[in-house]
Structure 1
Amino acid sequence: MQDPDINLKRRKQIALNLAAAFAGGAYYMTYMGKKVRQTPAHSGATYVEEILQGHPTRFREVCRMELPAFKKLCDILRRKRLLQNTAGVNVEEQLAMFLFTVGHNASNRQVQKRFHHSGETVSRHFNNTLNALTHLSARYICLPPPNIPPEIHDQPDFFPYFKDCIGAIDGTCILSQNVMAACSFDSRFTYVLAGWEDSIEDSTVLEAALSTDFQVPEGKYYLVDADYGNSPGFISPYPGIRYHQKDFAHGQPGPRNEREIFNYRHSSLQNSIERAFSVLKKRFQILTAATSYPIDSQVKLVLAMCTLHNYIHTVAGGEDWLYVEYDSENQYPPAEEEDKEEEDELSETEAWEEPYAVRRAPADVLRDKIARDMWVDYCRDE
């Protein structure tokens, strides 16, 4: 029979050995393992350098913008002191981590794995970059001047009929928010209002914008969809009348009366805001999925992504591969010519008798005049 004291000593020794082994393993994983992960061959800085020096298509896939635009943006952020190199992460890597996150809706863990940083480091630089880009919004998102936009002035289908129109407005659901935006006819955002629940009506969000910092110059107006209604400063299409481009394509007859030709051309211009939203969401996939970010960060994300959208638009001269893809996917063949007919509801004479026009709301009178002028010229030119 063994001595109990000897057995006790052996058990204590085994326990000490196990504790030492566990502590050694923990030390290795915490310090030695971290060092292995951050050797030059595997660091986030090395990865960013690889994509900067690699094929442009690979860079574009990772960062969702062209390389020249990325480099210029890094310079802007440095020059304005919105981002600075830190001991372990330079500006290029900070921006690349952010773009990878928003472009692919990547989780914190996915960014850790790709760039070899701790979760805390990833989160800190994400928030810093988000704040920096939000700060740039006033530079890249600006209300338009009261001039006639070139997209209208240079197109006989739109000029002089829409000469007082300065943009298009619509709302869309982003991160469970009803985001209202105005844009120019080259699909650049000129105003963005985020933070409203997606269940709120578009017209309510517009009213809120008008009560704060959104203004329509005297005598000018925006094109809006039917959800906003027709009112001074905002011209909507005729309800119950063919409207969308596809309604006039694929063998469908062309415009047959003044209301149809107005809706057709209104839709052609209004498409600029749909184009902007589509490209925005396709570029930054974080905007299309549920997220756990706090609501104030979600609002900042909308503003920051719209800022990046405009920045890329400016640097790329209005076009890049995502615009090309959108335009290619939304091409419709021209409508077929068909005998034109007058409106059933009112004859031209009845519609434009002075007593009737006086009773109409000013926005309705303006819309009717634009439609009539378009129709008269359309019939004459055919």
Structure 2
Amino acid sequence: MSYSSDSSSYSDDDDDELADMMMIDFLIKNNRNFIDRTPCRTSMLSGKEYIREIMCGNLIQCYEAIRMKPHAFLNLCDKLKMMNLLEDRRDYVLRDLKAFSLTVVKTTNRGEVQPEIRADSRWYPFFKNCIGAIDGTHVAAWAPLSKQKSFRGRKAVLVTQNVMAICSHDMMFTFVYAGWEGTTNNSHWVSKSKGFFAPYRGERYHRSDWQSGSGVRGKKELFNFVHSSVRNVIERAFGVLKKRFHILKYIPNYPLRRQMLIPHACCALHNYIRMEYRADTLFNTYGGENFQELTEGFNVVQEGFPLDMTDQNEMLQVRD
């Protein structure tokens, strides 16, 4: 009788151990399937020693770490040193890149007509005076709970800051304004800009609007159809920017004044890479007008300007 009781007790303990082992096995498999355990940085070095290790290591790892080819990075360091902008203190890095951005994010003389427009019979001579494309986009932001409501974009689920930018048709940013709360109406500045060529409201505009196979109807739709193809260079430039600089998707807990500098710094590096290495992979990928993969994928959306054209009679006449 006592033996039977001991045997039963032993069986219960065995079942408990088996259940524990099954649970551990399940947790291990779940951990492997759903948690990315790829180390972001395996080196114990820091500062100049860490950079030197990257530059002398695998070329793919180097490109992923500094977002540019080694020669472009070295040239950038030399340029910053010549401008006396390279400081040892980490606090100065964003400030220095903002100063550097003033030297590369600017309008440049590309001739009387943008080469890309002159080369396309759909655009030339109709858009021969167009010097660039303008649009707004949302990038991720961090804000204290008391301010998050004003930094939440109208279409986004994340806390965002609003960025307005202009780029030329070679995907170089010529103007950047960042730091607006996500809910800010960004038309107040642009509506005062004489010479802004806006599409017709209430008419089909985006390329996807014609995917059903229906043709263009009327002069207003025709204008919008061509205007969309001229303007989408700014969308592709934003695509390159956000694909390269993941910090625009996930902003750390920085003070708001520092967060405003990050888009400026990224746009400056974007332009610098474009100048230093025209064959850059991302620029080649997004370079074609028909490139369609412009979705954000992290719920931080691009958002066009709701422009007021009532005071721009001259441009309205030109458009008609």
Same fold (TM over 0.5): yes
* CA-CA distance at 1:55 after TM superposition: 2.6
The corresponding residue for 1:182 is 166
The corresponding residue for 1:71 is 74
The corresponding residue for 1:160 is 125
Of residues 122, 127, 131, the one that matches 2:95 is: 131
- Check 1:267–1:364 CA distance in 2 against 1; reply closer, same or farther (3 A cut): same
Distance 2:289 2:117 in 1: 23
Identity %: 41
- Is the contact made by 2:229 and 2:289 (CA closer than 8 Å) also made in structure 1? no
Distance 2:100 2:119 in 1: 31
Distance 1:316 1:256 in 2: 42
Distance 2:208 2:277 in 1: 29
Distance 1:147 1:188 in 2: 17
Pairwise CA RMSD: 2.5
Distance 1:162 1:362 in 2: 15
- Check 1:327–1:248 CA distance in 2 against 1; reply closer, same or farther (3 A cut): farther
Of residues 303, 317, 320, the one that matches 2:280 is: 320
Of residues 174, 190, 197, the one that matches 1:206 is: 190
Letter in 1 for 2:282: L
Distance 1:326 1:153 in 2: 20
The corresponding residue for 1:148 is 113
The residue correspondences of 1:59-138 to structure 2 (distance < 5 A) are 59-83=62-86, 124-125=89-90, 127-138=91-102
Q: Deviations over 1:118-161 (max 9, x none)?
A: xxxxxx42x22212211111210113448311111221111110
Which of the pair has the greater relative contact order for Cα pairs under 8 Å at 6+ separation?
2
Distance 1:325 1:48 in 2: 27
Distance 2:125 2:231 in 1: 17
Q: Deviations over 1:320-377 (max 9, x none)?
A: 2122333579536xxxxxxxxxxxxxxxxxxxxxxxxxxx933222111xxxxxxxxx
- Is the contact made by 1:147 and 1:166 (CA closer than 8 Å) also made in structure 2? no
Distance 1:252 1:300 in 2: 44
Letter in 2 for 1:177: Q
Distance 1:276 1:237 in 2: 20
Of residues 197, 200, 205, the one that matches 1:243 is: 205
With 233-242 and 161-170 compared, the bigger mean Cα shift is at 233-242
* CA-CA distance at 1:75 after TM superposition: 1.2
- Check 1:159–1:188 CA distance in 2 against 1; reply closer, same or farther (3 A cut): same
- Check 1:83–1:144 CA distance in 2 against 1; reply closer, same or farther (3 A cut): closer
Larger Rg: 1
SS at structure 2 position matched to 1:135: helix
Q: Deviations over 1:32-67 (max 9, x none)?
A: xxxxxxxxx942354433321223211111111122
Distance 1:155 1:260 in 2: 19
The residue correspondences of 1:1-382 to structure 2 (distance < 5 A) are 42-44=44-46, 45-83=48-86, 124-125=89-90, 127-145=91-109, 147-174=112-139, 175=141, 176-206=160-190, 232-249=194-211, 252-317=213-278, 319-327=279-287, 331=291, 361-368=313-320
Could you state the TM-score of these two structures normalised by the residue count of structure 2?
0.67
- Is the contact made by 1:180 and 1:205 (CA closer than 8 Å) also made in structure 2? no
Aligned residues, how many? 238
SS at structure 1 position matched to 2:125: coil
With 150-159 and 319-328 compared, the bigger mean Cα shift is at 319-328
Q: Point out where structure 2 has 5 or more consecutive residues left out of the alignment.
A: 1-42, 142-159, 293-311
Distance 1:50 1:329 in 2: 38
SS at structure 2 position matched to 1:191: strand
- Check 1:295–1:42 CA distance in 2 against 1; reply closer, same or farther (3 A cut): closer
Q: Point out where structure 1 has 5 or more consecutive residues left out of the alignment.
A: 1-40, 87-123, 211-215, 217-231, 333-359, 369-382
- Check 1:321–1:205 CA distance in 2 against 1; reply closer, same or farther (3 A cut): same
Distance 2:57 2:288 in 1: 28
Letter in 1 for 2:70: L
